[in-house]
């Protein structure tokens, strides 16, 4: 770990209350970044910031529903007002929650999936990009997609559609904003050990060991720190020639 890799930079992370988002926020802080953590879940988001500040890092928590345009605009404005700008952003806020074939999927469930997973990424990118362009110093954005962006699972049509859309937003924006020195990429996590994954397995009455063996060539779930490491690399100067890329962190699942 390079404790100064992000010194002087501000990193905005959504979905920071738990799972991958929390790990990413804490990893940025450990490497010197000032962190703006956002989530709709207040207690978890505040706990993430508390862990950062107790470890000597700089961070604030901004309660945010990423599907709400005004809330996202206020989030980015708070980051600019507090720390002078946004240099890196990881849009990790997402939900899942279906478990039926498409014809049985409730309209409201589908709409909510798109509101958070697609509209949320769109709104975050929109305001992050405006701040980065206005500052004129470039930047890096990472969107959390999924292996479902390439290979769907049964009974996840709404979630899969949303994660395909995240890649479309990532690649299109990467083309538009490269001339501003802003690099935009995505991560496609495989089976990562998060509360979301554990809840999905329980809801489907699945078996954790069987799921890990089916979705990973290593026979285990990935860790949130493995996703955080990928996010930091994509936001760092070490990936300066990487744009519009979807990085699979999936223990070989997509190669199978």
Q: Which residue has the tokens 């990928």?
A: 230
Q: Please, what sign has the CA dihedral across residues 188, 193, 195, 198?
A: positive
Q: Give the dihedral of Cα atoms 249, 251, 252, 256; nearest 10 deg.
A: -130
Among the listed residues 83, 150, 159, 177, the single catalytic one is 159
Beta-bridge mates of residue 246: 186
Q: Is 177 a catalytic residue?
A: no
Q: Which residue has the tokens 């285990």?
A: 220
Residue 96's CB: how many other CB atoms inside 10 A?
22
**Conformational region of residue 61, where left means phi above 0, alpha means psi within -120 to 50, and beta covers everything else:** beta
Q: Which residues are catalytic?
A: 159
């Amino acid at each position: 770990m390079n404790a100064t890799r992000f010194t002087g930079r501000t990193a905005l992370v959504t979905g920071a209350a738990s799972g991958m988002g929390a790990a990413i926020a804490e990893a940025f802080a450990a490497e010197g970044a000032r962190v703006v953590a956002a989530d709709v879940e207040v207690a978890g988001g505040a706990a993430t910031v508390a862990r950062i500040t107790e470890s000597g890092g700089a961070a604030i928590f901004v309660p945010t529903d990423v599907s709400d345009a005004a809330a996202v605009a206020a989030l980015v404005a708070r980051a600019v007002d507090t720390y002078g700008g946004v240099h890196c952003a990881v849009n990790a806020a997402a939900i899942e929650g279906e478990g039926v074939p498409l014809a049985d999927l409730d309209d409201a469930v589908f709409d909510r999936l798109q509101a958070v997973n697609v509209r949320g990424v769109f709104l975050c990118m929109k305001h992050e990009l405006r701040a980065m362009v206005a500052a004129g110093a470039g930047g890096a954005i990472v969107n959390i997609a999924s292996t479902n962006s390439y290979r769907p699972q049964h009974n996840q049509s709404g979630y899969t559609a949303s994660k395909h859309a995240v890649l479309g937003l990532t690649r299109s924006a990467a083309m538009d904003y490269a001339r501003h020195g802003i690099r935009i990429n995505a991560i496609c996590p495989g089976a990562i050990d998060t509360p979301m994954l554990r809840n999905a397995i329980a809801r489907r009455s699945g078996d954790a060991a069987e799921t890990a063996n089916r979705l990973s060539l290593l026979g285990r779930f990935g860790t949130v720190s493995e996703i955080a490491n990928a996010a930091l690399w994509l936001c760092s100067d070490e990936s300066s020639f990487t744009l519009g890329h979807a990085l699979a962190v999936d223990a070989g699942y997509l190669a199978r």
